[in-house]
Chains A and B, each alone.
Chain A
Amino acid sequence: MSHDWQPDFEKLVDEHQSMVFSLALRMTGDRGLAEEIAQDVFLELDRNLGRIESPEHALNWLRRVVMNRSADALRRQRVRGIDLWVEMDENHGAKYEPRSNPLGARLEGLLATLPSPQRAALVLRYQEGLTPEEIAATLESPLATVKSNLQRGLKLLRAKAESHLKEYIRGT
């Protein structure tokens, strides 16, 4: 903990906007909603800036809050009967951002079809490179649950990839 560290809001936005936006986008699948979540997360950071003690604390705080906000947004959408990822799945990931690697886009589209706890664990693992312990701390979930979500998510994704991507490769 470095008590001498003085948080600079603008610098924190510069450093972490890509991470916050990417997590929100991969969790919700909607660019507009992800941008809105990213804005809200940074404004919440601004309100809590006095409690942030170090750059690492800021990074972990942002990860935790963006995952919570994204989960809340998904819950709200589900209550309203909108499933953002259904549209996304139909377009195989191409809806929210065209990618140069179509196979990657397919894989990312398949990732989007996973249940949200598994998706959250995989996004934190492979986008952020976190260990299961760090993911558990970020999601405030038991370590065993996180490990199970990672294993099940990866297994499910592999199975989906085997069937879907074979079709895709045959089709191209």
Chain B
Amino acid sequence: MGLEPMDDFEHELQQIMLRRPAPPGLKRKIMARKRANDTQKIHQRVVFWQRLAASIVLCGAVGGGVTWHNVQERRKGEAAREQVMVALRIAGHALNQMNEQLAEHNEEK
């Protein structure tokens, strides 16, 4: 079958089944659709990169905001600790003075 010599019927079949010419506008339509697809692909690529860039900027802004907030919090904490240290130093100094005065008073007695 198939590779055996063809009979008249098969020859007739082969004759009528020659390739038909493509419609005249087929190539033009294919090329037009290809161009449209290419343009769409470029547009999609541009939109992708725009979205990626926007996402990076957004992530950077959020990350920067969080970091800035943390730094501010740390600064506030350090300032508060400094104030406590000053207060402790003042209190310590006052206590020392009081001790000295008490010691002087005892000596006078």
Q: Which residues of A contact B (CB under 8 A)?
A: 9-10, 13-14, 17-22, 25-26, 31, 35, 38-39, 42-43, 46, 97, 99, 101, 104-105, 107-108, 111, 122-123, 125-127, 129, 131-132, 147, 150-151, 154, 157-158, 161
Whether B1 pairs with A18 at a CB distance below 8 angstroms is: no
- 17 inter-chain pairs at a CB distance below 8 angstroms, sorted by A residue, are A13-B27, A13-B31, A17-B22, A18-B20, A19-B19, A21-B26, A26-B17, A31-B23, A35-B23, A38-B30, A43-B30, A97-B20, A101-B16, A111-B17, A126-B17, A127-B19, A147-B2
Q: Which residues of B contact A (CB under 8 A)?
A: 1-3, 9-10, 12-23, 26-27, 29-31, 33-34, 37
**Majority SS at the chain A contact face:** helix
Whether A38 pairs with B14 at a CB distance below 8 angstroms is: no
B3 to chain A, nearest CB (A): 6
Whether A161 pairs with B9 at a CB distance below 8 angstroms is: yes
A154 to B19, CA, bound (A): 19
